[in-house]
A and B are shown apart, each in its own frame.
Chain A
Amino acid sequence: MFLDVTLNLLEGFKLTILIFLITLVGALPLGLVITFGSMSKIKFIKGLTKGFVWIVRGTPLMLQIILVFYGPGLIFHTNGLGRLPAVLVAFIINYACYFSEIYRGGIESISQGQYEAGQVLGMTKTQIFFKVILMQVVKRIIPPMGNEIITLVKDTSLARVVSCVELLKAAQDIVGLKAIIWPIFYIGAFYLLFTGFLTLLFGFIEKKLNYYKG
């Protein structure tokens, strides 16, 4: 039975990791786009982006998953997305908004003098961003990004609201079916291992970037 349960849970864990990875791959760059939008000099774009970020950050992720899954079908009478794609779209948009605020904080914390030093040295705006600013921003946002990404691990469990059988749902099903409680503790260990690994990873990156201050 233990082996049975383990195999079942591993199936769920695979989906958890999939949601986690695809969300990161999508949300990390999309977040940067949103950051540029929210820092845009064009008032309209800035306002629109900030409004969007406010709505996404101000409502539960679970609500957004439900909306993305049922919305297209009920509002537009189209076929809508499948369960997993709907979950991924909601996660990517949601996390991109959180990341964008972290990026923005990081970018705004870099002193004007860094840009001006690049300018008087004849660098282009693109060169200044990629050669001077970006690495400094990365160093500053590593700790808050670490927090956010660990939250993402736990948030993957929200996918069960549209019946995606990720780790938690897999365990819950077993608990209900076989009337045993230990799988719940068992998956707790899965989550702890996963987040423990990420904690170590981020600690390592932070250390790597500690060769300079500022």
Chain B
Amino acid sequence: MAVLEVENLGKSFGGNQVLKNISFELEKGEVLAIIGSSGGGKTTLLRCLNQLTKPDSGSITVNNDVIFDSKAGKLSDSELRKKRLHFGLVFQQFNLFPQYNVFKNLTLAARLLAKENNKGKSLAELNATYAEIDKKAEDLLKKVGLTEKKTAYPCELSGGQQQRVAIARALILNPDILCFDEPTSALDPELTGEVLRVIEGLKSQDNTMIIVTHEMEFARRVASKIMFIADGVIEEIGTPEEVFEHPTSEKLKSFFNKSVEVIAGKEE
């Protein structure tokens, strides 16, 4: 059974139709890499999934829970908030909270949610939940290799370290699907490796991920599915072999040619 079902998703800004009839499915544990040239609509798709941008049409379903349906009525703020939690999002610019240390960045939202969900329960129960959250934060910090940075502030970390904190922060809420929007584009080239390794390490039967990336080699190695988007349309979707070895659409072929040129250009 599919974790994620997207049907006929559409989005326009003014007269500019940025997403056109996007439909696809993801199974649990799959890693989907979305590639495509600038302005194709990759970020907009992720933002629609995370409900940061409201789609104009179509529907999104996660684990049989309808997150968005253009035909259904408007959701209340609190419903929207709950539905959003099916997804996690790691931003290109990290967006850590600068006034909090690493540990508090991880635990802040989880604690607020726990407080809300434990309404009416005893203080002891709430404290037990907090302790679980703290434990989980420690585990996640270990997973992203930043245990010793627990009390550091974001401004004291490198970009790569900040992005690893952001990944841990997104994971602490146990999203069904974790999305990454070009997680390494804002980083110096020598820092991309550490972040990509962490993402690769998350690959498992339980973690479903969607990664927008320009790192072709990484996409090919880590993804189980590749989606190529151009001008708001899914031009091609398939296994890495299919998409990389046997591209069928002209747009994808020329995209690969351009990527090769860019890489060649970099090496000069």
Contacts and interface: CB of A to CB of B under 8 A. Distances in A.
Interface size class of B (residues with CB under 8 A): 20 to 34
Contacts of A108: none
A114 B59 CA distance: 27
B36 interface: no
A116 B91 CA distance: 9
Interface string A182-214: 000000000000000000000000000001111
Interface stretch (A44-52, A80-88, A93-101, A119-127): A119-127
Contacts, number: 64
A113 B43 CA distance: 14
Nearest to B175: A120
21 contacts: A111-B93, A111-B95, A114-B95, A117-B96, A119-B52, A120-B52, A120-B88, A120-B89, A121-B169, A121-B170, A122-B85, A122-B173, A123-B112, A124-B77, A124-B78, A131-B108, A132-B97, A212-B99, A212-B154, A213-B153, A213-B155
Given A119-B84, A120-B170, A213-B155, 18 more contacts: A116-B52, A116-B89, A116-B91, A119-B52, A120-B84, A120-B89, A121-B108, A122-B81, A122-B82, A123-B112, A124-B78, A127-B112, A135-B99, A136-B98, A211-B153, A212-B98, A212-B153, A214-B155
A118 interface: yes
A21 B188 CA distance: 50
Contacts of A214: 98, 154-155
Contacts of B169: 121
Contacts of A131: 108, 112
Interface in B74-132: 77-78, 81-82, 84-85, 87-89, 91, 93, 95-99, 108-109, 112-113
A211 B156 CA distance: 10
A121 B96 CA distance: 11
A120 B98 CA distance: 17
Contact of B95 (A113, A124, A212): A113
Interface string A122-163: 111101000110011001000000000000000000000000
A121 B173 contact: yes
A132 B96 CA distance: 10
B208 interface: no
Contacts of B89: 116, 120
Contacts of A213: 98, 153, 155
Contacts of A132: 97
Nearest to B108: A131
Interface residues of A, number: 23
Contacts of B99: 135-136, 139, 212
Interface string A101-112: 000000000010
B50 interface: yes
Contacts of B155: 212-214
B99 to A, nearest CB: 5
A111 to B, nearest CB: 8
A209 to B, nearest CB: 8
Contact of A114 (B77, B87, B97, B109): B97
Contacts of B85: 122
Interface string B159-181: 00000000001100100000000
Nearest to A132: B97
A133 to B, nearest CB: 10
A204 B196 CA distance: 42
Contacts of A114: 95, 97
Contact of A122 (B97, B98, B113): B113
B98 A113 contact: no
Nearest to B47: A116
Contacts of A116: 52, 89, 91, 95
Contacts of B93: 111, 113
Nearest to B109: A121
Interface string B32-53: 0000000000000000001010
Contacts of A123: 81, 109, 112
